[in-house]
Amino acid sequence: MLSPSMQEALNKQVLMEAQSSQAYLAMASWADIQPGLKGVTQFFFKHSDEERMHMLKLITYINERGGFAVVPALEQPTLTFVSLKKAFEELFKHEVKVSESINELVDMSLKEKDYATHNFLQWYVNEQLEEEKLARECNDKLELIGDDKSGLYLFDRDIMNMGGEGHGNKKH
């Protein structure tokens, strides 16, 4: 059984994952209307799907442990960005915030001696390491490219292969 405090904390994480999915969906829609960003658009759509899977995994866990997973109301995400670089800066900041939230949950699970939840959260810890690394790599590449249009073309073409072997194709 989950403690009431752990259930509440996990439900807050459900909200964060749902907001992440919506934020990346909005980024995908924005990228989709920019000329020449089809790879980036696919990347953001895929990322949105991944975040939704993270949310569903939490919902299943909460309910399986005798809690009640609450499907949250969501605020409107940012819809437009001044540049691709700004969109990826937002993505990185957001991933760092998610990592901090997961770390707080891990800390709470240890304090409550809830080792099942601690074990469950290790998947999220590892996932966030990958997410932050990928976001950092994207930002580094965009920094190198600057205003070079041919560099942006290559970035768009190669983005679906970034993030190491099979990132995003893992079973959730």
CA–CA distances in Å: residue 42 to residues 27, 49, 57, 74, 160: 10, 11, 23, 23, 8
Chosen CATH of 4-161 out of 3.40.50.2300, 3.40.50.300, 1.20.1260.10, 1.10.10.10: 1.20.1260.10
Kindly list the domain boundaries of the chain, sorted by start residue: 4-161
Q: Determine the Cα–Cα distance for residues 58 and 3; give it in Å rounded to an integer.
A: 15
CB-based contacts of 130, cutoff 8 Å, min separation 6: 163, 164, 167
Helix axes 84-111 and 4-32, enclosed angle (nearest 10):
170
Q: Determine the Cα–Cα distance for residues 107 and 94; give it in Å rounded to an integer.
A: 20
**Is 54 part of any known ligand binding site?**
yes
Structure tokens at 122: 């290790």
Q: Residue type for 39, please?
A: G
Please give the model's pTM, rounded to 2 decimal places.
0.90
Under 8 Å between Cβ of 26 and 91: no
Q: What is the pLDDT along the chain (172 residues), one digit of tens a residue?
A: 999 999 999 999 999 999 999 999 999 999 999 999 999 999 999 999 999 999 999 999 999 999 999 999 999 999 999 999 999 999 999 999 999 999 999 999 999 999 999 999 999 999 999 999 999 999 999 999 998 889 999 999 999 787 544 444 443 3
- Residue 21 belongs to what H/E stretch? helix 4-32
**Is 128 part of any known ligand binding site?**
yes
